[in-house]
């Protein structure tokens, strides 16, 4: 007899492994606003590429998702580290010259058939959490802790050595394009500051869909989840550089940023709300927004549009939710 927990675990693991697929095709990359090709297309195709990936659902989401993948690999590397490295390697091969990886990989007709049109184009200004570092961190620290056989450890370090240049360029993409107005701050870029159809403009790039949620997006924002992702990525790069014995000025930069982002006082100053004792995002925000029906008599239609009843102000955005847990989950809170 198998315990209930074990049978749930077996079902989850086999669904995850059964969802691994191999795709081939070309992503569609949005051109900047106002640009189009001669034939009217508002995108250019990415290069034809292959992706080996664990999809979230074979029947409903038969495509690769950058941020889901890191979580999938947390499980899969324990099953078979070689499959994990193969999958992560495929993702790193999709990096462009700027260090950007398209977030949703809609490769081939099967994948495309399941995607609503509005989500097909990929925007080179938009990121997605660098979750692959979750699995890479485990692999790197597994070597430190002698968790693998000599042969396996050898293969993993060869992989990390070969991946290092791309990981660095991916990291640099975040460090330059998603940085905030003040040093050491980060925010998810690409939020829609013009929409009137949402209470708080949704931000799929964060992976969380309903965070960040400052009501009036602008570049004063700083997002606590992204700060924590940067801490994870920085520490992971630092640890890989450490055991590869790399020690150039680049590695010194990683050490420096890692110390900066680990600073508990700075974290608290930027994100801790004293009243509730919770970690929040910061941005231009008001709680007094609502959706109201508007009639357009000429067009004979009704629309739900946003009304702002109070001027937004720069402040911590008072919503306790998963972003509040990030400093804890990512180990940014020192043990007492
Ligand atoms: C919205 O963002 C664009 C691009 O960053 C900027 O040019 C524009 O001034 C912003 N509009 C408002 C209302 O903040
Ligand atoms: C991240 O960007 C900042 C600001 O440009 C730079 O000073 C720092 O060296 C960068 N960190 C790394 C690890 O590249
Ligand atoms: C906050 O948003 C409002 C409305 O878009 C804008 O008028 C105001 O300048 C913004 N405040 C700051 C400090 O950016």
> Does ligand 2 come within 6 angstroms of the Cβ of 255?
no
Q: What is the pLDDT of residue 246?
A: 83
Identify whether the C-beta of residue 185 lies closer than 8 Å to the C-beta of residue 261.
no
Ligand 2: centre distance to CA 40 (Å): 39
Would you state the pLDDT for residue 318?
Answer: 97
User: Atom 12 (ligand 1): residue with closest C-alpha?
Assistant: 193
Backbone phi and psi for residue 301, each to the nearest 5 degrees, phi listed first: -145, 160
Q: How far is the centre of ligand 1, averaged over its atoms, from the C-alpha of 221 (Å)?
A: 13
pLDDT at 118: 87
What is the secondary structure of 247-312 as a DSSP string? Answer: -SHHHHHHHHHHHHHH-HHHHHHHHEETTTTEE--EEEE-S-EEEEEEEETTTTEEEEEEEE-S--
Please give the Cα distance from 123 to 59 (Å, whole number): 25
* Gap from CA of 220 to ligand 1 centroid (Å): 12
Residues contacting ligand 1 via CB (< 6 Å): 193, 218
Which ligand is located closest to the Cα atom of residue 248? Answer: 2
Helix (H, G, I), strand (E, B) or coil at 171: helix
Q: How far is the CA of 253 from the centre of ligand 2 (A)?
A: 6
What region does 58 belong to: left with phi over 0, alpha with psi -120 to 50, or beta?
A: alpha
Output the CA 312–ligand 1 centroid distance in Å.
15
Q: Determine whether the shortest distance from the Cβ of 257 to ligand 2 is under 6 A.
A: yes
Residue whose CA is closest, atom 2 of ligand 1? 193
Residue-level pLDDT at 84: 98
Is the sign of the CA dihedral 217, 218, 222, 223 positive or negative?
positive
CB neighbour list of residue 69: distance below 8 Å, 6 or more residues apart: 53, 54, 87, 88, 91, 131, 132
The CA distance from 240 to 171, in Å, is 13
Helix, strand, coil distribution of the chain in percent, nearest 5 = 40, 15, 40
In angstroms, the CA 248 to CA 244 distance is 12
Ligand 2 pocket residue status of 254, Cβ below 6 Å: yes
The pLDDT score that the predictor gives to residue 194 is 93
Report the separation in Å between the CA atom of 99 and the middle of ligand 1, taken as the mean of its atom positions. Answer: 25
What is the spatial distance between Cα 272 and Cα 316, in angstroms, rounded to a whole number?
Answer: 8
| Alpha-carbon gap, residue 306 to 313, rounded angstroms | 17
Nearest CA owner, ligand 3 atom 3? 312
Give, in order, the Cα–Cα distances in Å from 212 to each of 225, 261, 285. 9, 20, 11
58, 113, 126, 143 from 219: Cα distances, Å: 38, 36, 14, 40
The pLDDT assigned to 314 comes to 98
- State the 10-residue block means of pLDDT for the chain, 336 residues long: 90 95 96 90 95 94 96 96 98 97 94 91 94 96 92 96 96 97 93 92 91 96 98 95 86 95 97 97 97 91 94 97 96 91
Q: Which residues of 162-177 are buried (b: 16+ CB within 10 A; e: fewer)?
A: ebbebbbbbbebbbeb
> What pTM did the predictor assign?
0.94
User: Tokens for 88?
Assistant: 């992560």
CA distance 160 to 140: 8
Q: What pLDDT does 270 receive?
A: 97
Ligand 2 centre to CA of 74 (Å) is 28
Ligand nearest 214 Cα, by number?
3
**Residue 240 CA: distances (Å) to CA of 40, 60, 129, 248:** 46, 36, 19, 13
Which atom in ligand 2 lies closest to the alpha carbon of residue 253?
13
Question: How far apart are the C-alpha atoms of 182 and 169, rounded to whole Å?
Answer: 22
Alpha-carbon separation of residue 34 from 41, 42, 90, 193, 217 (angstroms): 11, 9, 33, 17, 22
The Cα–Cα gap between 210 and 196 comes to 16
């Amino acid at each position: 007899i198998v315990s209930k927990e074990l049978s749930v675990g077996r079902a989850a693991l086999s669904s995850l492994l059964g969802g691994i697929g191999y795709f081939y095709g070309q992503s569609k990359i949005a051109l900047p606003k106002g640009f189009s090709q001669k034939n009217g297309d508002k995108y250019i195709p990415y290069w034809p590429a292959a992706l080996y990936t664990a999809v979230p659902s074979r029947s409903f989401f038969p495509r690769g998702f950058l941020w889901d993948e890191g979580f999938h690999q947390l499980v899969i590397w324990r099953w078979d580290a070689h499959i994990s490295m193969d999958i992560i390697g495929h993702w790193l091969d999709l990096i462009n010259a700027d260090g950007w990886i398209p977030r949703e990989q809609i490769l081939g007709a099967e994948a495309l058939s399941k995607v609503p049109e509005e989500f097909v184009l990929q925007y080179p200004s938009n990121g997605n959490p660098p979750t692959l570092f979750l699995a890479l961190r485990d692999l790197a620290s597994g070597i430190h802790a002698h968790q693998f056989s000599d042969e396996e450890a050898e293969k993993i370090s060869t992989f990390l050595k070969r991946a290092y240049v791309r990981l660095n360029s991916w990291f640099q993409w975040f460090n330059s394009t998603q940085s905030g107005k003040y040093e050491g701050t980060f925010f998810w870029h690409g939020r829609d500051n013009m929409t009137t159809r949402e209470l708080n403009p949704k931000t799929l790039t964060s992976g969380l869909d309903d965070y960040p949620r400052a009501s009036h997006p602008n570049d004063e924002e700083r997002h606590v989840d992204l700060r924590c992702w940067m801490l994870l990525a920085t520490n992971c790069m630092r640890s890989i550089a450490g055991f590869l014995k790399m020690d150039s000025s680049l590695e010194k930069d990683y050490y420096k940023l890692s110390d900066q982002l680990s600073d508990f006082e700075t974290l608290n100053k930027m994100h801790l709300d004293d009243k509730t004792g919770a970690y929040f995002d910061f941005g231009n925000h008001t709680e007094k927004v609502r959706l109201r029906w508007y009639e357009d008599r000429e067009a004979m239609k009704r629309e739900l549009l946003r009304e702002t009843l109070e001027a937004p102000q720069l402040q911590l955005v008072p919503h306790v939710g998963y972003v509040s847990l990030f400093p804890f989950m990512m180990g940014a809170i020192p043990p007492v």
